Structure 1
Amino acid sequence: MSTEPLVVAHDLARTFDVSPPWLNRVLERKPRVLLHAVDGVSFSIERGKTLALVGESGCGKSTVARLLVGLYAPTRGGLQFDGQDAHAAFKTPEGRKLRRRIQMIFQDPYASLNPRWVVEDIVGEPLREHGILSGKAELRERVGELLKSVGLSPLDMSKYPHQFSGGQRQRISIARALATQPEFLVCDEPTSALDVSVQAQVLNIMKDLQRQQGLTYLFISHNLAVVRHVADQVGVMYLGRLVEVADKQKLFAEPQHPYTRMLLDAIPQMKHTGRSRTPVQGEVPNPLNPPTGCAFHPRCPHANARCSAERPKLLSIKGVQVACHAVEEGRI
């Protein structure tokens, strides 16, 4: 197996124009308004490994997911997949082959499945679209195999999505994503809409599939307990930027960035029963008007004048990538 990372994102950025209509801007003399949803994100994922992206709502995690699968084009930066420029390839006829190798599992199993289609059509659609199988008998056989691989029965093929529970629907979504035999799966909070007991079942299925098929995952979540279960590496995002990237064990044992520490302090732990939890302090700033310097400085207990004036770079410190002046200067 190659030692080169399968996925390499370099300085990925995506800006959305959220300005009022042109006539309103002219009459009210207002400038254009740009939202920097993702602002210079870089990471790599080795084959067969899982990188988890965590952070509060609105920090740009889902936008990164859509950039990786080609649903959004980047405003800046690029994505290398297996050594080739993925976004350039997506625009060519050869891009269909690349799309077979990259698939996505969406957050809401109630919204991501067509309610008018039976399961056979939902799971079989990628097989038909990519010309992998065309005969009805072999298509049914393959859909049955995919359903069995995620813990469902081939007899479920004739049912509609409304006849399943949330956890079962998400299994159907996973079966559909696996239909093209992808190497890389982008999972956008795939268990957040499910009950805790069902979450564990779906996560175990995903872990088993990763072991059996050598899958590579980008796993997006705001639940650090889930991340601890599935990830090999963790990237912490804040307001469109990565503030810390580390191996899972290192991040949970020795978090470096003040924001990472704040998130981990908010997790209830059995050994600390009876001790009051530390809530996450403050609120995420308005992304349309972000703070100067380090975006986290209004909420940071270690902030100084440099933090409010100069944006920190993601540097390698003690074997961890971290963007923090206080960590860099040894103040924490």
Structure 2
Amino acid sequence: MSAAPLVQVDDLQMRFDVSAPWLNRVLERKPKQFVHAVDGISFHIQRGQTLALVGESGCGKSTVARLLVGLYRPSGGDVRFEGRSTRDWFAAADAPALRRRLQMIFQDPYASLNPRWKVRDIVAEPLREHALVVNAAEAEARVGELLSQVGLNPADASKFPHQFSGGQRQRISIARALATAPEFLVCDEPTSALDVSVQAQVLNLMRDLQQKNGLTYLFISHNLAVVHHMADEVGVMYLGRLVELSDKKRLFAQPRHPYTRMLLDAIPDIQLTGRQRAAVQGEVPNPLSPPSGCSFHPRCPHANERCKTERPVLSEFQGIRVACHAVAEGRL
């Protein structure tokens, strides 16, 4: 593992304009409205490691994924790949070199594959786009290799996506992502649409591919059991911000932030029967008008006046990075 991280994210921000049409705003005298989907997060991923981002739906996980692969242009902050800013790199003449090195696996294998294309065309598209093959015979051979790599038969190249199960379709998505021999894969809940038994097969395949090819993953999920299986480090997001960042073993053994504790307490565990648990309280606030101070304070049993007025900063406490006044003051 190199000293310098492969991916470095600094104060990343993304806001979306969700305002009403111009004429409506003029007639109703309303200002523009923005949603801060990602509100200043920072992390890094070492080469060959997996960072998992977890949190409730709408916390900004998928937006982070799209920012890292260049599908969105950030409103603020920076993403660096091997020390070079991707904001400038995606706009540069050598942008294809970056896109070959990072790829994305999407959440829904039923929506991410073109139903009108055969598997050979789906998997070969990045090969042709990046001129990695010179003729049809070479493309056919490479597609067969990629399908074998993800546990499918090379003869499946002549089939259409609707002829496969959900797990097989996700394997096709993985084969397409591996076509350019990337170093960094962004996985946006790649197993959430699959049955539990199929999830395990796909996750084990991804771990095997990581070990074989030295891949680096950003793994997005809301399933903590999946995160425990896949991650080296875990970042917990709430309303666009990172509230806790730690290595997997420490976070699952000693969660510090009240929100992380609530997430872990929500996992059924027969071995922990009788242990006092904190029930998940309240609802996620409206992102159009987030709470002042700590965004979690309306749901937090440890909140005080400082939590309601002052936004906590992600700081290190005993090897864990936490954004919580209660932890900083020793109240938790």
Indicate the TM-score class for this superposition, using the shorter chain for normalisation: over 0.9
* Partner in structure 1 of residue 208 of structure 2: 208
Structure 2: how far apart are the matches of 1:50 and 1:272?
28
CA apart distance, 1:273: 4.9
2:24 counterpart SS class: helix
User: What is the RMSD computed on CA atoms of the aligned residues?
Assistant: 1.1
- Amino acid of the residue matched to residue 311 of structure 1? R
Structure 1: how far apart are the matches of 2:267 and 2:300?
19
Matches within 5 A, 1:1-332: 2-273=2-273, 279-332=279-332
TM-score (norm 1): 0.98
Give deviations 1:245-271, integer Å, cap 9, x for gaps.
000000000000000000000001131
2:105–2:188 CA contact under 8 A, matched in 1:
yes
Structure 2: how far apart are the matches of 1:196 and 1:280?
24
- Amino acid of the residue matched to residue 200 of structure 2? A
2:157 counterpart SS class: helix
Structure 2: how far apart are the matches of 1:218 and 1:277?
30
Structure 2: how far apart are the matches of 1:166 and 1:231?
23
CA apart distance, 1:320: 0.5
Give deviations 1:271-306, integer Å, cap 9, x for gaps.
135879754211100000000000000000000000
Moved more, 270-279 or 141-150: 270-279
Structure 1: how far apart are the matches of 2:270 and 2:172?
34
Where does the alignment leave 5 or more consecutive residues of structure 1 unmatched? none
2:43 counterpart SS class: strand
Structure 2: how far apart are the matches of 1:13 and 1:278?
31
1:267–1:277 CA contact under 8 A, matched in 2:
no
Seen in structure 2, the aligned counterparts of structure 1 residues 274 and 305 have a Cα distance that, compared at 3 Å, is: closer
CA apart distance, 1:87: 1.5
1:114–1:161 CA contact under 8 A, matched in 2:
yes
2:18–2:33 CA contact under 8 A, matched in 1:
yes
Give deviations 1:33-55, integer Å, cap 9, x for gaps.
01000000100000000000000
1:101–1:184 CA contact under 8 A, matched in 2:
yes
Where does the alignment leave 5 or more consecutive residues of structure 2 unmatched? none
Structure 2: how far apart are the matches of 1:294 and 1:11?
17
Moved more, 275-284 or 33-42: 275-284
Structure 2: how far apart are the matches of 1:326 and 1:273?
27
- Amino acid of the residue matched to residue 284 of structure 1? V
Structure 2: how far apart are the matches of 1:286 and 1:170?
33
Q: Across the two proteins, how many residue pairs are aligned to each other?
A: 332
Structure 2: how far apart are the matches of 1:299 and 1:191?
29
Structure 2: how far apart are the matches of 1:279 and 1:178?
41
2:2–2:46 CA contact under 8 A, matched in 1:
no
TM-score (norm 2): 0.98
2:120–2:157 CA contact under 8 A, matched in 1:
yes
- Amino acid of the residue matched to residue 225 of structure 2? A
1:268–1:277 CA contact under 8 A, matched in 2:
no
